[in-house]
Every structure is written in structure tokens, then in C-alpha cells.
Chain A
Amino acid sequence: MKNSRWSFLFSPYVVMLLITAMYIAKVFAKVGIGNWVNSPVLTGDGLHNLSDIVEAVLVIMSVYISRLPKSDNYPFGRKNVESLMVLAIGLSMFGLTLQIISKSSIGILQFFPEADTWIRGYLELPTYEPLLMGPDYFWWVFGVTAGSVALSGIMGTYQIRVGKERNHPSLIADGQETYSDGRIETTTLVGILSEYYFQAPWIEYILGLGVAALVAKTGCEMFLRGWRALLQRSIGKETEDKIKEIALRVEGVSAVDKLITFSVGSSAICIITVISRARANMIKHIRRTTEDRLSRYLKEASFSGSEIYVRLQMPDPSFYRVAEAITKEDGNLSVAGSLSTATHIRVYDIEREKPVRATDEPITGLTLEDVVKLLKRKRVTTFSIFFEDPTLEQAVVGAGINFHLAPIAKVLADSAF
């Protein structure tokens, strides 16, 4: 359809123009027939559709604004205008809910005159407007209402489908409202039929309360969706945890330092800072892969689009010093077996778990106390030697330094390769 000559039907503007035309037709038909048959229900419903026309115009405006390109002043675009629209439609649906509850309750109350009088003693309720129905008018009223139900169902579905395809939440929200209109019209239709065939209009009022609950639920969902997007609420812990897991599985990423997520319209924005020791010419691969994988995941998580910003940060150097007693003899070098055979203390500067610098401090002639003082002065955290020596261990540990037996007699930074 999208590539055919009917593709113009998938333009959001065309959809909303058709919706506006539908509401105009509904207003004329309902108000006209309602006045003719003296039905305040039908007339009131027709007048309610006037507000739908205003809403349709607002949706067209929000779609237009949301499609404006990004700029320096609007780096994420203006898609959130649709969230504003979704919030407004959600609120309007609460109004609609109250209206249905009120009409249905008043309708039910008129079957209990005593209760009606008692409540009206405390609350100022609108007058009960019974459906005026006669056999001469039935088919006109039935035709207009049934036609409205069918149109609301078809057009609501159409709006939601185009809204999803073209990524316009305001169109989807308006489509859901059109659907809700259809539900209300269905209860009216049931009322007309039950009045005409069974003289039992109360069925309409009971159904009306059920419809009110459905409309309230939809309104609540819309309101929350709009509210969360506008206030840039995070896209949820579960989704964020999955984002971190995916990022951690990218080779070259050792940790996730920071993650900020929020929605703009129905798109997800994800700003992630990962820790990586990768060299400069590896960074682009890590960034591209992280972006690709996260973008794929967010699409699966039902976001219509996403913008991923990956920042790479080197890990903290975690600087510390270690030392080992070594023996230098005839050009040979090994970890000293004991302090008495050691000629030097080799002190290593460790950054990111790698020795980056080493110095040899001669210790020939120094006492155990002097060696411990040297280790303290050099801020050594761990000291190694090859053989066990309880006296040395006690002195070193007593100075707050870890004592460690070297696993092999080979000196730490004296590589065979």
C-alpha cells in the first residue's frame, strides 16, 4: 500500500483531514436528527463531537511541529509536542469518563425515585434526559448511531495503524479516543434498541458504566505515557539492566559507568558511558557496535526509534605500589629467597593492574627495621619474597603492608618475551 498510488492515505495529514471530515458529518447528522426527534442524548453526543474537531486540528498541528527537523536549539527535535498532546487527550478522556458516569448514574437513579430525591438533596445533579423514541423516528436514529459506531471503529483503527507506522503517538492517542467514542456510541445504540424492543433503557446505563471504566483505563495509560515522556522519566529498570548487559558484552567494554535514558515521543534516548582500555583506533568499533546492538534491542522493546550516545572512558588508573626483594648477581636477577640474600628492593608503580615503572633500592647492610621503613616511605602496599620468613612477615604486616610469597622466583618485570 505504502508504495502504491494509495500511499497518500498513509500521510498523517490525510488521516486527520478524513477524521475531521468524519466528525463534521457526525455533528451535522447527530445534531440534525437529535433536534428532529427531540433527543437530547443524540444532540448532546453531536455537540461533544465538536470538541473532537478541535482536537483533530490540534493533532494536525502537533504532527506538523513534531516533524520539524532537529536544530541547535532542539537537539532531540520537537517530538515531545506529541507527548504533550497525548497528555492532553488522556486528560480529556477523564472528562469523558465523568460525563458517561454522570449520565449513566442519573439514568439508573431515575429507576429509584426515593434515592434520586435523597441524593439530589445533597448534590446538584443534571436533569434526567430520557431518550425520546417513536416508531416513526426509530430507523433514522438507529441509522445515524449505527453509522457512527461503524465509522468510529474503522477510522480509529486507521488512525492507530498510520500512527504506529509513521511514529506519531498523538495520532495513536487520538485513534484510541475515536475508538472510545465508538464504545460510547455502541452503548447509545444498545439503549436505542433496548428501549425500542424491550422498553428497557436501563441496559444502556449499566453498559455505560462499563464503558466509563474502559475509557478511564485508556485515559490513564495515555496520561501516564505523556507525563513520563514530558518529565523525561527513565525508560525503566528492566530495560536499563538489559542495556547494561548488552553494552558489557561488547568486546572492549569492561564496565558501564553511567546510563541515562528517557523518551522523546515514542523514541528512546540512551546516553551511556562505558569504561574501556581500548586504543584510539579501536574506539570507533566499540562505539558503532554498542550503538547498533542497543538500537536493535530498543526496537525490539517496542520503541519506534532510538538515539544512542556512547561515551568511552578510560578506567581509573588505580595507582598503587608493590615491591619484591630481589637478588642481582653476575647479571642474573631473581626474587630473593630471604632478606639476607637480597641485594635490592624493587618497587613497582602499578596502574590499571600493569607495572608502569620500577626502581631498585639497594638494601645491602640495612637492618630489617630499615627495610620496613623504606617500604613505608615508598608507600608500598604489598611486599613479596620467595621463602617464608615469620620474623620478616611479622615486621612487614605490623607496618600495615601485605606480605606475599612470590609464586615463582622470576622477577615481575623481567620478561622472557
Chain B
Amino acid sequence: MNIPVRILASPPLSEATEPKVFVPDIIRNYPHFALSLAKVLGVPLQLFAPPNLCGVPGVDIETINRLQKERLDTLFPGSKPVSQLEVDPGMIVISNSIAEKRQPYTVIAPRYMAEFDPHGKKKIIVSLGDGQAGLKATVFAIWFARRVGFSLVFWHTTWRDPTISSDNPQDHMNHQARLVLLKAQTLAEEAHVPYEIDIRSVSQAIADGIVAAAYDNDCCLIVMKRGDSAVIGSHCDSTVERTPIPLMVVG
């Protein structure tokens, strides 16, 4: 039987922070994804192995912890079991189900990918709108891209402005969206992360648009952030529902 796992990682938003990958729960079936992601990111893997709450007569908790450590080390070489579940607001949780909920921490939904294996697709697509959420996603995406040597694709979808005759979707972007795009470009340039821009007119549901763009641009990861203003649903929620490509929802 496969041993299911999740990863929690703490990506450093500043270089001073020590990154880590943390597996809080051996329930879901993500062992290979967890291991491959930790390997690609070059960060250690931590596993959450809670103590046996019922205890075993004649066996102390240290023995149980030691056995758990040995067995998990066999399954996930180099991993470190942790008996306390500490949720750090900066860490990445790897879980399909958690990505569907509004959470304070960052989540990667692997969807149906057994491994984080970019297969030479070294691109991350970032969804930008006209708010700050896209920029926060960009910061995370830049961290990820720098760590693994990927490039970024800044994606934006825009409604057609009937007063503008141009067929170029970029000409139909509103002022605020242009500022966000410009800021994202500046952030990428400052971090020396290569990027491309993909601006499209809205022709389908926005979530479908970003999934289509991710496929078209050969991206191995979508990065988004839920907008703070959304009170019911979000583009993130819809994208989680629709994407077979792994999605990172920034917390």
C-alpha cells in the first residue's frame, strides 16, 4: 500500500529564513510528489509523525518515536519526523483538499501529478489581475523560480474595451492592471528572473483561461493568490477545480 503524505514547506521570503519541507500527515497519497518537490527545491523533508496517544503498555513514547523515525527514514530517505504540528504562516502545504479552502498558509495542489517532475518545462505561470494579490503571488513565484532556475510567465486576461479599436489585448488593459504588470516585471527584473508576458482577451471562464494559458506556455506550475476582496468564491477556487496542472495558492 502506498504511504500517503503531505508536505509543508516554509519558503523564505527573505534570504535569512531557512527553508524547509514539512509533511504533516501520512494520509493522502503524495509521497513521490513530496520527495521530488523537496529534491527540486533543495530543501529538507520533514514528516509529521504524531505520538501514539493511547500508548502501549511497557513501551515509552521515545521508543515509539524512534521506531517511527527509522521506518519513515526508510520510506523517505533523509526525512526528519516531527511530532509537533506547527503551522507556520509562511509555509507551503501540499494538498489538493486544503487548496480548495481559504487558508492562511500557502498550498500546492499537486492535482493528479504523482511527482513534481517539470520534464524540461521550466516555466511558472503567475496570474495577475488589477489588485495586489497578483503581486504577492509574483513574490512567491520569483522565490520559487530563483531557487530552481525557472522562468515566469505573467498572465492577464482583459475585457475588451469597446472604445478601443486595437486587436491587441494589451491595449485593452485598464490603468491599474498595467501598473500591476509593470510592478511584476520590475520585481522579476530586480531578481534577475526571466519572464514572458501573455495577455489575452476574456473568451471563456477566467479559470479556464489560466489553465489553457498554462498548457499553451508549457508551464509546470500555476501560482495564484486569492484576492482579499472576494467574499464568495474566487478565481483560485475555480482554478483548483479545473486545473490538472499543479497549482500554488499563496497564503
Contacts and interface: CB of A to CB of B under 8 A. Distances in A.
Nearest to A285: B211
Given A288-B212, A407-B3, A407-B72, A354 B29 contact: yes
Nearest to A410: B50
B27 A413 contact: yes
Interface stretch (A87-95, A130-138, A226-234, A276-284): A276-284
B16 interface: no
B215 A289 contact: yes
A337 B56 contact: yes
A254 B245 CA distance: 13
Interface string B46-73: 0011111110110100001001100110
A338 B56 contact: yes
B49 A410 contact: yes
A39 B24 CA distance: 95
Contact of A416 (B1, B25, B81, B211): B25
A310 B22 CA distance: 38
Interface stretch (B111-119, B172-180, B187-195): B111-119
Residue picked from B26, B53, B54, B75, most chain A C-beta under 10 Å: B54
Interface stretch (B34-42, B130-138, B147-155, B236-244): B236-244
Interface in B77-120: 81, 85, 93, 95, 97-98, 111-114, 119
Nearest to A281: B242
A165 to B, nearest CB: 27
Chain B contact residues: over half helix, strand or loop, or mixed?
Answer: loop
Given A334-B54, A386-B56, A413-B27, A285 B244 contact: yes
B29 A353 contact: yes
Nearest to B75: A407
A416 B97 CA distance: 12
A415 B112 contact: no
A285 B51 contact: no
B13 to A, nearest CB: 23
A335 B52 contact: yes
A336 B111 CA distance: 32
B200 interface: no
B64 A279 contact: no
Residue picked from B50, B97, B111, B215, most chain A C-beta under 10 Å: B215
B198 interface: no
A337 B85 contact: no
B50 A416 contact: yes
Interface string B204-228: 0000100110011000100000000
Contact of A252 (B54, B119, B241, B244): B244
B212 A285 contact: yes
B2 interface: yes
A58 interface: no
B6 interface: yes
B214 to A, nearest CB: 8
A408 interface: yes
B234 to A, nearest CB: 16
A408 B212 contact: no
Given A285-B212, A285-B242, A415-B27, 4 more contacts: A252-B111, A252-B112, A407-B3, A407-B75
Give the 8 A-B residue pairs with the shortest CB-CB distance, closest first: A252-B244, A337-B56, A409-B52, A332-B53, A407-B71, A289-B215, A415-B27, A408-B49
Interface of B: 1-3, 6, 24-29, 48-54, 56-57, 59, 64, 67-68, 71-72, 75, 81, 85, 93, 95, 97-98, 111-114, 119, 208, 211-212, 215-216, 220, 241-246
Interface of A: 249-252, 254, 276-279, 281-282, 284-286, 288-289, 292, 322, 327-329, 332-335, 337-338, 341, 350, 353-354, 382, 386-387, 404-410, 412-417
